[in-house]
Amino acid sequence: MKNHIIALLTLLVMSGSMHAQSISKSSHYTAILNLHGPDLVVTQVKMPYVAPQFRLYAGNTIKIPIEVTIKNIGTEEARSGFGIHTSLKVQGNKTDGETIVRLTPNQSRTLKMTAHINASLNGRYVRFLATVDPPGGGRIPEQGAPKGGVVHETNENNNTRAVNIKLPVY
């Protein structure tokens, strides 16, 4: 009797988030999982227009402005008591971006960041990797942080976007 109750409860829990759908009048069925919750993605990484004159900083670096657009493609608001963090990696160097409080479903925000690039790379393509809700929420070193960041999402594997951007010649 106990096993029957457990099986029935398991079936009820599973049926609350899944439903069976018939496939072409056959007796085969497939389960479709209805996911509800936030899902943060990076939709765009770009360098806005920059004047072709840069100031050279210590360590032979230049500062490049980068705009990162993030969006909540999920069905619920994305929020955390710690905020939603963004980060940018260029040549192995990580820069923390802005932190926002929340994103409602289908809402997007463009955040401004500054990348420090070796001056010898001017005129070349450089790979930029932007992440929204990075492991550890952007404040804990990634090596020891939980994989998913601080916002519990329906898909934790789509939070990054890599692009190659040609730097201006100065």
Residue-wise pLDDT for 104-143, tens only, equals 999 999 999 989 889 899 889 999 999 999 876 666 666 6
Eight-state DSSP code of residue 105: T
> How many CB atoms lie under 10 A from the CB of residue 66?
22
Specify the higher pLDDT residue, 15 or 162: 162
81 and 125 within one domain: yes
CA end-to-end span of the chain, whole Å?
A: 78
Residue-wise pLDDT for 1-11, tens only, equals 656 555 555 54
47 and 19 within one domain: no
Range of the domain at 117: 40-166
Quote the pTM value.
0.74
Q: Which helix (H) or strand (E) holds 5?
A: helix 2-17
CATH number of the domain to which 114 belongs: 2.60.40.10
Residues 6+ apart with CB under 8 A from 103: 38, 40, 70, 71, 72, 77, 78, 79, 84, 109
Number of domains, the chain: 2
pLDDT at 157: 92
pLDDT at 22: 37
57 and 99 within one domain: yes
φ/ψ bin of 8: left (φ > 0), alpha (ψ from -120 to 50), beta (otherwise): alpha
